[in-house]
Structure 1
Amino acid sequence: MSISGRELIRVMDDYASPKYAWAKDRIGLQVGNPDAEVKGILVTLDVTEAVVDEAIQKGANWIVAHHAVIFHPLTHLRTDLPAGRLMAKLMKHDLQVFIAHTNLDATEGGVNDVLAEKLQLEETRVLVTEGTEKLKKLVVFVPMDHHEKVLQAMGEAGAGWIGNYSHCTFNVQGIGTFLPQEGSNPFIGKQGELEKVEEIRLETIITERNQHQVVRAMLQAHPYEEVAYDIYPLDLNGAEWGYGKIGRLKQSMTLKELAEKVKRVYRISGLRMVGDPNKLVEKVAILGGSGARYFMDAKRKGADVYITGDIDFHTAQDALAAGMCLIDPGHHVEHLVVERICQVLKEKWGEKVPVYASQIDTNPFSFV
């Protein structure tokens, strides 16, 4: 079974909803045709010429990246210059490039969750809150012998989460009626005859984020040609969403010990540190990429240390004066999310399409 580009885009959008992206962020399909068949997927942090060569060598015609290949408006496509040469190679070899950037930073299981998990942070919550999930009620009417199948399909798609409980539903038995008209192909009953069926009204809670995937799963599991269902907005707030994470280490350690742990679990050869190396730290805030501007958010939420990239000189001075310890492992540690994206895609399709994690190191910095 072939997989279309639109299916890949849908899976990525389900994982990292575009609604989480900053307003002017460059996300989505940037190069290529959304209808192009997916023959292979290369997942990378950045799209460089070496990465493109890797995709060609592996036979991958789709590249899923975190950083945009087109960020600033193009004023020319000169193939004697790096940007134009890169675009020409992508087009010549019919490669599609899909970007998930700030939406991948904010999504559950995205960049910042991966970075927090690597440090084994506990009791994590959002560092910089941008909003809360909107909750909705989904009601569907199901014939009794398909009730369990539909319920399980919806639960596996993410419906029914209340706190730490999943598959939360309410079910009421009743009688459904319908009269199949000309041109219909009823699962139960005959054209022109009023049918009465024992059905179950199945109610569950969904989020605005997972609404489409839950409805899709419900429709696929439901036997009826035309499915009766309702979606109601709820005057309730779901989980917070935003950028970065804050949580606690399993046990306190010195700033120096934490810095060494960061080097080890993020697989880097060096980093920058601000603060007393012997200070004990326990509460840690983290924001992948370039998050220096948010160090006061970390302090206000009680963090002992803030881990982020691209910290400038004056921000480091201000943080030190405010009593905030900093660790800068570089922007490139976001590459750790590549493994998670590969996992999401492989769980979706198994062996139907090859998925590769790029082996090209796109970090422009090295330590000497």
Structure 2
Amino acid sequence: MKIVDLITWFEAWANPAWCESWDNCGWQIEPGVLQEKARVLVCLTPTLAVMEEAIAENANLIFAHHPLIFNPLKSLRTGEAIAEMVRLAFTHNIGIYSAHTNFDQVQDGTADVLAQILELKEVTPIVPTQAGLGYGRVGLLEPFLTLQELLAAIQTRLAPPNLIFSPTTDLQQIISRVAVLGGSGAGYISAVAKTGAQAYLTSDCKFHQFQESRDAYGGLRQRNLILIDAGHYATERPACDRLVQKFQSLNLDWVQLSQKDEDFRQFFA
């Protein structure tokens, strides 16, 4: 399959026109590879390490979740990471394509894969954007789990380096309804609370957002939503793996999940 045909197939599933106004989905760098047979390296974040991996593997397309370019560039200078990525992309004829907030909304996208990993049933979007699609997912656990069992399942299935959750006095409380959103999802706490979810799995949560999940309106009433932060990498990387599986079904010339992708946070034991 040619790269142009792969991108056409993908955009019929996750249209880049669905991305948020602040986002930058679609081609980041296209050095003239559209008619080549697709050799694809899938990653969460396009970095110089991933580019070096693509060069070593003779890939001609880096398919990333996170955009390489978020804001309009004012200059490209030697020694800058984006400038070096551009130089290497054109030197080695490697395209870089991003599927970000459009990929977050679709079936088998970032949120949907998290819901599947937790085996949620009767799943619906937290915030619908169009028919059957939207940001985040909320659904039922079958069978129900204690909070301790849910946390253990998340730790086992996502393997985050550090799992953070709201303070609670009862790890044995029964959890039946769970919301999930890969990446930075703390801005959806209010929307999640309206779904009736008891626990919300996401990432990049700040100190006061843990308070917000428990206490609404400055503590005047209880919200009692258990916020669970498994980290940006752990909550989005599984969707990249699923994307590789979907690409493999298209019988591409070559496709692989990056081994140089990395979590940019480390925790001292």
- Compute the TM-score of the two structures, normalised by the length of structure 1: 0.67
Deviation at 1:110, TM superposition (A): 1.1
2:79 corresponds in structure 1 to 80
Shift, 1:34, TM fit: 5.4
| Aligned amino acid, residue 340 of structure 1 | R
Q: Determine if the alignment matches structure 1 residue 325 to structure 2 residue 219.
A: no
The offset of 1:25, in angstroms, is 1.9
In structure 1, what is the equivalent of residue 157 of structure 2?
265
What corresponds to 2:92 in structure 1? 93
- Contact 1:20–1:107 (CA under 8 A) maintained in structure 2: no
**How far apart are the structure 2 equivalents of 1:275 and 1:62?**
44
Deviations 1:55-83 (A, max 9, x none): 11111011110000111111211122222
Q: Would the alpha carbon gap of residues 77 and 19 (structure 1) be closer, same or farther in structure 2, given more than 3 Å must change?
A: closer
Inter-partner Cα distance in structure 1 for 2:163 and 2:21:
31
1:7 maps to amino acid: D
Rounded to whole Å, the distance in 2 between the matches of 1:11 and 1:79 is 36
After TM superposition, give the deviation of residue 131 of structure 1 in Å.
Answer: 2.7
Task: Tell me which residue corresponds to 1:346.
Answer: 248
Question: Is 2:36 aligned against 1:26?
Answer: no
**How many aligned residue pairs are there?**
257
Which residue of structure 1 aligns with residue 200 of structure 2? 306
Instruction: Give the superposition deviation at 1:264.
Output: 1.0
Structure 1's 15 and 344: CA in aligned 2 closer, same or farther, altered over 3 A?
Answer: farther
Question: What residue is the counterpart of 2:133 in the other structure?
Answer: 241
Distance 1:296 1:39, change over 3 A: closer
Rg comparison, structure with higher value: 1
Q: Distance in 2 between matches of 1:92 and 1:259?
A: 46
**2:64–2:99 Cα contact (<8 Å) kept:** yes
TM-superposed deviation, 1:36: 4.2
Tell which deviates more after alignment, 336-345 or 27-36: 27-36
Local SS of the residue matching 2:202: strand
- Residue 39 (structure 1) shift: 4.5
Higher mean displacement: 10-19 or 325-334: 10-19
Q: Distance in 2 between matches of 1:38 and 1:275?
A: 52
Aligned to 1:67: 66
* TM alignment of 1:203-222, pairs within 5 A: none
1:125–1:247 Cα contact (<8 Å) kept: yes
Deviation at 1:86, TM superposition (A): 2.4
Q: What TM-score do the two structures reach when normalised by structure 2?
A: 0.90
- Sequence identity (%): 33
Pick one of 224, 228, 239 that aligns with 1:337.
239
Quickly say closer, same or farther: Cα 1:346–1:284, change in 2 above 3 A: same
Q: Distance in 2 between matches of 1:361 and 1:30?
A: 18
Separation (CA, whole Å) in 1 of partners of 2:70 and 2:6: 22
Q: Which amino acid aligns with 1:343?
A: Q
Structure 1's unaligned 5+ residue stretches are 133-239
Superposed CA RMSD: 1.6
1:41-60 Cα shifts (integer Å, max 9, x gaps): 10111101110011111110
Q: Which runs of 5+ in 2 are unaligned?
A: 216-222
Counterpart Cα distance in 2 of 1:59 and 1:281: 47
